[in-house]
Every structure is written in structure tokens, then in C-alpha cells.
């Protein structure tokens, strides 16, 4: 049985070894155990060969993670549950998997990210790992990742994983009605403050955001970055979601959690 390494990166971080294929692992995390994750599950597949340190003591992982006596696969063997993201090499991050509450899994491949295409204006980011506030920022994703992981910045982290969120507004400047954010007026206030030039590149919207219908709020996609670079996982267009990934999208967009 092939052993996979997965990094859970939504609401908590952990490195897990498993014999399950990614889709099966996502389903298992969502609904396959009584300890199931209530809500969405996001995880990367990690290429163990590209890890250049032994922080996680993976040398004997094959001995530690063995199939059950009846031959069934070992579904999860936790390797680490603390400061995982910062100890993985950026190039070890393979595909990103988005699991819904009922266990449907969408696979995103890393895509080239062209920073030149970025437009000026406010962005809404949901920081997912290792910290999890929601912020509005005048910085485009690459610059935001650099800013947030800059050691000179007193409020920084070694590496950051975040989602770029929709910030659509109607003619009157209010947030579009279909966006399920808990406090849309406050988001707009934060954006206005940013636009009026408060001098800050980013402003925290919420320390503990509760984003209902999370996958419906994703704009361009997901980013994982540090001062050395950024990896971009493009979120499919609406049309692709409705046709190619219809089942996943229905599950993701109809979720109440």
C-alpha cells in the first residue's frame, strides 16, 4: 500500500500519514469516523522526498504507519500537530484538496501565478494557516504573502496559507447580497478605511471569522507563500464548477456549515 503524507490546513494544522488515496482520505476526514471534522476539510498532499530536514522524523514512518491486521489500510497516523506549515518546504506542497462537509473532494493543482495581472484595489483574505483572521488588504496576494512572512514585520509568521475571497459590491457600494459573510457592513467599513488611506496595508476584519458557505466565497483561489515565493491554486470558474464538478459544487454551495 502506498503511503501518503497529508497536511491538514483548515482550522488546525497537522501532518498525517495515510494509506488512503486523497479522495478517500478527504471522505474519511469528513464522514468516515465518529471524530469527523464538522464542516469543510482542506489538505495538501506532501511530497516526502522533497523535505530537506528531519523535523518530522519521517525516516521510520513506514514502520510506524502499517496497515491494520486485517489488511485494511491505516487511515490516519498523526505525525505532528503543531507548527507544521513552517517546517515543510514550499516545493513539497503538491495538490490541494478541498473536502466538503459530506465528503466530496475537489482537487486543485498548483498553477503559475502572474503577479503582473494583479489590479489595484482592496482584497479580502481569509488566513487559514497557521493563524486565521480575516483581513482586507490593499496588497495583492504575492505582496500580502511577502508582507505577512517578512521577519521584519513584528506581526508575521514564517509561512502563510490563505484564500482570496470575493468582495463583490453592488451599485450602492454594499457587499453583494449573495455573499454569506456574517457582518457585511463591517467589511465595507474596513474597506473604506483602507481606501481612505489609513496608512496600513491591511486591516483585520475579524479575528475568528465564521465563514458560512466558505467555498462560495472563493475568488481567485488559494495561496501558500513565504519570502522565498508563492504557490497558487486556482479555483475553477463558476461554469466549470457547475458542469465539470457539479456534484462537488452542489455539496459545497448548499452546505449549511
Partner 1 sequence: MKYFRKLFPLSGKARRNYLIAMLFVFAAGYFWQPGFSQNQSVPQTAPAVQTAESVGHFVAFSVFTDKFAPMERIALITVLLIAIAGLLYAVMLAKQVLAADQGTKKMQEIAAAVREGSNAYLGAQFKKVGPLIVIITLILFLTYSGSVDAFRWGRAASFLVGALFSWTVGFVGMRLATNGNLRVAAAATRSYGEAMQIGYRTGTVTGMLTDGLGLLGGTIIFLIFGEQAYEALLGFGFGGTLLALFMRVGGGIYTKAADVGADLVGKIEKDIPEDDPRNAATIADNVGDNVGDCAGMAADIFESYEVTIVAAMILGMATFGHKGVIFPLLVRGIGVLGSIISTYTVKAGKDDTSDTALKSVHRGFWIGSAISVFGFIVLGFFYLRFPGILKDAPATFWGMNPMDPSFWANFGFPGLDMRPAIACFIGVVLAIVLNKVTSYYTHTGHNPVKSLAKACQTGHATNIIQGFAVGYESTVVTILVIAASIMLSVLVYAGTPPLFVAYGVAMTGIGMLTLTGNTISMDVFGPVADNANGIGEMGYEPVEMEKQEPGSYKRARQILADLDAVGNTTKAETKGIAIGSAVIAAVSLFSSFIAVIAVGSEDKITEMTIAQYAIEAGKLTVANPMVFIGFLIGGAVPFLFSSMLIRAVGRAAFDIVKECRIQFRDPQIWDGSKKPNYGRVVDICTNTAQKELIGPGFLAIMAPILVGFLLGPYALGGFLAGMILVGQLLAVFMSNAGGAWDNAKKMIEDGIYGGKGSDAHKAAVTGDTVGDPLKDTAGPAINPLIKVMNMVSLLTLGLILQYNLITPSVQEGSARLVGLLVAAVCAIAIGWAVWQSKRESAAQEAELG
- Chain residues binding partner 1 by CB under 8 A are 24, 27, 31-32, 39, 100-103, 176-182, 184, 212-213, 216, 239, 242-244, 246-247, 250-251, 253-257
User: Closer to partner 1 at the Cβ: 6 or 223?
Assistant: 6
Q: How far is the CB of 182 from partner 1 (least distance, A)?
A: 6
Give the nearest distance from C-beta 1 to partner 1 in angstroms: 18
Complex with partner 1: residue 52 or 212, whichever CB lies closer:
212
Cell numbers placing 6: 497529508
Which lies closer to partner 1 via its Cβ, residue 173 or residue 177? 177
- Minimum distance between the CB of residue 104 and partner 1, rounded to whole angstroms? 9
Is there a contact between 134 and 62 (Cβ–Cβ < 8 Å)?
Answer: no
Instruction: Measure the CA–CA gap between 154 and 139, rounded to whole angstroms.
Output: 17
DSSP per-residue letters across the chain: ---EEEEEESSSEEEEEESS-HHHHHHHHHHSSTT--SS-EEEEEE-GGG--S-TT--TTHHHHS---TTSPPP--EEEE-SS-GGGS-GGGEEEEEEE-TTS-EEEE-EE---GGGPPSS-EEEEEEES---EEEESS-HHHHHHHHT-TTSSS--SSEEEEEE---B-TTSSBPTT---S-HHHHHHHHHHHHTT-S-SEEEEESS---TTGGGGEEEEEEEEETTEEEEEEPPPHHHHHHTTHHHHHHHHH---
Whichever of 52 and 68 has its CB closer to partner 1, that residue is 68
Cα distance between residue 238 and residue 218, in whole Å: 10
Work out how close the CB of 41 gets to partner 1 at its nearest, in angstroms, rounded to a whole number: 12
Q: Which CB, 74 or 250, lies closer to partner 1?
A: 250
Nearest distance from residue 180's CB to partner 1, in Å?
4
Shorter beta-carbon distance to partner 1: residue 50 or 174:
174
**CB nearer partner 1, residue 101 or residue 145:** 101
CB of 184 to partner 1, least distance (A): 8
Shortest approach of partner 1 to residue 192 CB, angstroms? 20
How far apart are the C-alpha atoms of 224 and 95, rounded to whole Å?
A: 12
- Find cell 454594499 and name the residue: 174
Amino acid at each position: 500500500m502506498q503511503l501518503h503524507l497529508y497536511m491538514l490546513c483548515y482550522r488546525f494544522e497537522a501532518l498525517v500519514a495515510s494509506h488512503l488515496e486523497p479522495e478517500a482520505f478527504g471522505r474519511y476526514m469528513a464522514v468516515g469516523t465518529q471524530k469527523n471534522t464538522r464542516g469543510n476539510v482542506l489538505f495538501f498532499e506532501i511530497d516526502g522526498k522533497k523535505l530537506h530536514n528531519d523535523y518530522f522524523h519521517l525516516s521510520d514512518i513506514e514502520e510506524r504507519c502499517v496497515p491494520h491486521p486485517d489488511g485494511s489500510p491505516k487511515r490516519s497516523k498523526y505525525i505532528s500537530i503543531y507548527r507544521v506549515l513552517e517546517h515543510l518546504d514550499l516545493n513539497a506542497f503538491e495538490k490541494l484538496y478541498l473536502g466538503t462537509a459530506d465528503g466530496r473532494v475537489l482537487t486543485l493543482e498548483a498553477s503559475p501565478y502572474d503577479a503582473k495581472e494583479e489590479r489595484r484595489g482592496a482584497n479580502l483574505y481569509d488566513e487559514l494557516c497557521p493563524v486565521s483572521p480575516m483581513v482586507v488588504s490593499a496588497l495583492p496576494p504575492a505582496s500580502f504573502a511577502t508582507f505577512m512572512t517578512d521577519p521584519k514585520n513584528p506581526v508575521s509568521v514564517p509561512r502563510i496559507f490563505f484564500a482570496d475571497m470575493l468582495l463583490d459590491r453592488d451599485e450602492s457600494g454594499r457587499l453583494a447580497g449573495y455573499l454569506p459573510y456574517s457582518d457585511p457592513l463591517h467589511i465595507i467599513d474596513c474597506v473604506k478605511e483602507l481606501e481612505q488611506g489609513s496608512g496600513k496595508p491591511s486591516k483585520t476584519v475579524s479575528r475568528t471569522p465564521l465563514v458560512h458557505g466558505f467555498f462560495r466565497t472563493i475568488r481567485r483561489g488559494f495561496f501558500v507563500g513565504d519570502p522565498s515565493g508563492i504557490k497558487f491554486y486556482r479555483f475553477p470558474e463558476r461554469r466549470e464548477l457547475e458542469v465539470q464538478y457539479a456534484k462537488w459544487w452542489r455539496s459545497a454551495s448548499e452546505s449549511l456549515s
